Structure 1
Amino acid sequence: MESVFHHVGIYCRDIEESIAFYEDVLGCRLLFESDAQEGDKPLKMAWLKRGDLVFELLECEDKATCEAAGSCLNHVALRVDDMDGFVAHLAERGVAVEAGPFDPPLEFDRPLAGGDSDVFAVCGDAGAQLRIMFFRGPGGERFEAVQDNIRAL
């Protein structure tokens, strides 16, 4: 049986604030909003899309659920073509950089197979040269921006 990733679910404290962030800062397009239930508690949800990536934003009535979920999600990574331009884009929208940008080399323990060579825009048999940085969304969700179009190792 084959399976593919469908969407990333992210709890948020204020769904309208998060929708605005995902649209304005990340360039997502709002697909729809809906009201649902999580167990016996009301749940607001919004589905947004950018490229092939779909985000399901969830606002729970019980904010403890949001806090508990934050302890297990590390980050969602976004590919950018120009790190300096993206950092400026964030600054224009009042989004602080949490860490970076850094220029870490990413060394592979084996070359990527042909079908996986698109994981990085530019890579060689030995690895890829990246530029990365981290920032947070309005619900505390952590994002990594990755520039991977730099000369390969």
Structure 2
Amino acid sequence: MIRKLEHIGIWCKNMDESIRFYTEVLGMKLVDRVRIDADLELGFLAFAGSEDVQLELISRGYEGQPDNGIVHHIAFTVNDIEAEVERLKELGVKMLDQTPRVILNGVKIAFFFGPDGERLEFFQPVA
């Protein structure tokens, strides 16, 4: 079952500048900032009182990224990611991930595509 809109991922050229913009100009709060590896850093922001829907900044060599725009993906929280991935496959949905991946200490994610090629993600938080 899909529970809610989780986050919207946006490519950024400079993590510090983007965080400064979203916090100082738009009034969001920095929830978390995580370096995944030498090339990939994520920043999570939300508005006070709406922390359950976040903006995910993605800083990973902005130049040369796939030509899919600045908005990289929209994520939806699910209860059982394995079941949801199988359901999408049965419906013939084009999958980027055939099986869920585990990141950030147990979070499970799986990417797939919408009807116009938009990148979408299922997100299952750590139980």
TM bucket, shorter chain: 0.3 to 0.5
TM-score (norm 1): 0.40
Structure with the bigger RCO (C-alpha within 8 Å, sep 6+) is: 2
TM-score (norm 2): 0.47
